[in-house]
């Protein structure tokens, strides 16, 4: 194992640091103001378009994409430190076209898409001229177990007909969202893991109705998390992704790298919270001394440093495993880092909130938002308990 940065990571990290300091972090407030001023709060604010143009000009684009000939072609180990830098801002990943759900959708299009599907959907997604959504989870069933999905994909001549109710379909309210990757059962009586398929659905297809925009702990995300009704939605048979019955396997492939990306960015979120905590603790004086002089606050700071460094090492180790032995071999480590990175980031953010007092729960700093994000991401892309179940199963097997 060699965790030294490669030359291209070192070069990109320097450029990314400057981009974050000079452009992204100062744009956060403007981003929120422009969203508020827009008639449609889901519309891309102009400042984000400007940031994306600058990122492209600087060669900081599609860094997540490990597939040959697409994006920067970095390994996971090379991308991890860059994702950490980007994770310090909640708008950083969007600025460099590395945000979910587009990243996962681009990955599966690269892996399973036909040449025609890639030309129609992958190319504009890589350009960020369109956005996309991923519709798997359903309100009526426990969706952490994807075999529970009840939506249907029924063949009718040279079309498929889709029916079902989805929710937390992230990105669907963005007016630039032109593609939904929909998961449903095409063979409800087939073998458990071959019942599901994934199909590409243009958002303007008749029969798609966004019922409501779901919040995240009261926050409304710019991309929007839709509850969506699909009623007799007809799409041509050539929109099937892979073969009928491949849906479950594609979902597993999609979520692996995505989980790792969240973990990589969580390290950056935690670093930002620790940085804020240290600054505030030195400035704020109570009972005759700065908060930073109190033992309890010093312990929060020290523990945060230890825990962040631990998750960074696990991120690098699991990235290295994915690169050298494949996603399947790294299953347990990827599950471990998805759980631990988000738990640590949440804990560090929570300590920072406490250090800030009332200001920490206001919207005057990014902390309240980070608190919500790091909590929600212990459920999204698989709840912690499901990842713990995976780790335990693999661990027990070693000893049977």
Q: Which of 61, 168, 182, 230 binds ligand FAD (CB under 6 A)?
A: 168
The H or E element spanning position 107 is helix 102-112
How far is the C-alpha of 92 from the C-alpha of 83, rounded, in Å? 9
The H or E element spanning position 389 is helix 384-398
Fill in the per-residue mask, 331 to 370: x = in contact with ligand FAD (CB under 6 A), - = not in contact. Answer: ----------------------------------------
266 and 342 Cβ atoms separated by less than 8 Å: yes
Q: Which of 58, 161, 249, 379 binds ligand FAD (CB under 6 A)?
A: 379
CA dist 158 → 42, 179, 239, 321 (Å): 35, 20, 11, 43
Name the minimum Å distance from CB 218 to ligand FAD: 12
Q: Which of 23, 185, 222, 225 binds ligand FAD (CB under 6 A)?
A: 225
The reply on whether position 375 binds ligand FAD by CB under 6 A is no
Name the minimum Å distance from CB 85 to ligand FAD: 23
How far is the C-alpha of 299 from the C-alpha of 304, rounded, in Å? 8
The residue among 25 and 376 lying less far from ligand FAD, judged by its C-beta, is 376
Q: Which of 44, 66, 120, 137 binds ligand FAD (CB under 6 A)?
A: 137
Interacting span for ligand FAD (CB under 6 A) from 11-19, 23-31, 131-139, 312-320: 131-139
The reply on whether position 101 binds ligand FAD by CB under 6 A is yes
The reply on whether position 170 binds ligand FAD by CB under 6 A is yes
In 64-158 the beta strands, taken as DSSP E runs, fall at: 131-135, 152-156
Name the minimum Å distance from CB 81 to ligand FAD: 25
Size of the site for ligand FAD (CB under 6 A): 22
Q: Longest Cα pair distance anywhere in the chain, in angstroms? A: 79
The residue among 47 and 372 lying less far from ligand FAD, judged by its C-beta, is 372
- What are the tokens at 313? 């090492």
Give ∠ CA 56-59-64 in degrees, rounded to 5. 90
The residue among 92 and 164 lying less far from ligand FAD, judged by its C-beta, is 164
The reply on whether position 142 binds ligand FAD by CB under 6 A is yes
Residue 233 backbone dihedrals phi, psi, to 5 degrees: -85, 120
Q: 358: buried, middle or exposed (CB in 10 Å: 19+, 13-18, 0-12)?
A: exposed
In sequence order, what are the beta bridge partners of 227?
212
Q: Which of 62, 143, 196, 374 binds ligand FAD (CB under 6 A)?
A: 143
What does the binding site for ligand FAD look like in residue numbers (CB under 6 A)?
Answer: 101, 134-137, 142-144, 168-170, 216, 225, 376, 379-383, 385-386, 389
């Amino acid at each position: 194992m060699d965790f030294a940065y490669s030359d291209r990571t070192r070069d990109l990290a320097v450029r990314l640091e400057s981009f974050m300091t000079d452009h992204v972090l100062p744009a956060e407030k403007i981003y929120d103001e422009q969203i508020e001023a827009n008639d449609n709060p889901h519309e891309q604010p102009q400042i984000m378009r400007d940031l994306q143009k600058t990122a492209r000009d600087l060669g900081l684009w599609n860094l997540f994409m490990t597939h040959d000939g697409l994006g920067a072609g970095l390994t996971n180990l090379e991308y991890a430190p860059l994702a950490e830098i980007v994770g310090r801002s909640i708008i950083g990943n969007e600025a460099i076209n590395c945000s979910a759900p587009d990243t996962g959708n681009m990955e599966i299009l690269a892996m399973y898409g036909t040449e025609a599907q890639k030309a129609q959907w992958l190319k504009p997604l890589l350009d960020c001229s369109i956005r996309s959504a991923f519709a798997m989870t359903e309100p009526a069933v426990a969706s952490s177990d994807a075999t529970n999905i009840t939506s249907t994909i029924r063949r009718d001549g040279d079309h498929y007909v889709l029916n079902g109710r989805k929710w937390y379909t992230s990105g669907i309210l963005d007016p630039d969202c032109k593609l939904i990757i929909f998961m449903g059962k095409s063979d409800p009586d087939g073998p458990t893991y071959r019942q599901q398929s994934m199909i590409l659905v243009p958002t303007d297809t008749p029969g798609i109705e966004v019922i409501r925009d779901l919040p995240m702990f009261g926050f409304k995300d710019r991309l929007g998390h839709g509850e969506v009704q699909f009623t007799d939605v007809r799409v041509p048979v050539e929109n099937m992704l892979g073969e009928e019955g491949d849906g479950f396997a594609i979902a597993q492939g999609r979520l692996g790298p995505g989980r790792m990306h969240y973990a990589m960015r969580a390290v950056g979120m935690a670093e930002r919270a620790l940085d804020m905590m240290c600054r505030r603790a030195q400035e704020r004086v109570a009972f005759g001394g700065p908060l930073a002089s109190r033992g309890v606050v010093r312990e929060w700071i020290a523990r945060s440093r230890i825990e962040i460094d631990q998750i960074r090492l696990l991120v690098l180790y699991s990235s290295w495993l994915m690169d050298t032995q494949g996603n399947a071999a790294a299953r347990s480590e990827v599950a471990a880092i998805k759980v631990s990175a988000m738990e640590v980031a949440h804990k560090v953010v929570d300590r920072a909130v406490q250090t800030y007092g009332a200001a920490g729960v206001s919207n005057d700093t990014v902390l309240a938002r980070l608190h919500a994000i790091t909590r929600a991401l212990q459920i999204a892309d698989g709840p912690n308990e499901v990842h713990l179940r995976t780790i335990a199963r693999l661990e027990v097997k070693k000893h049977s």
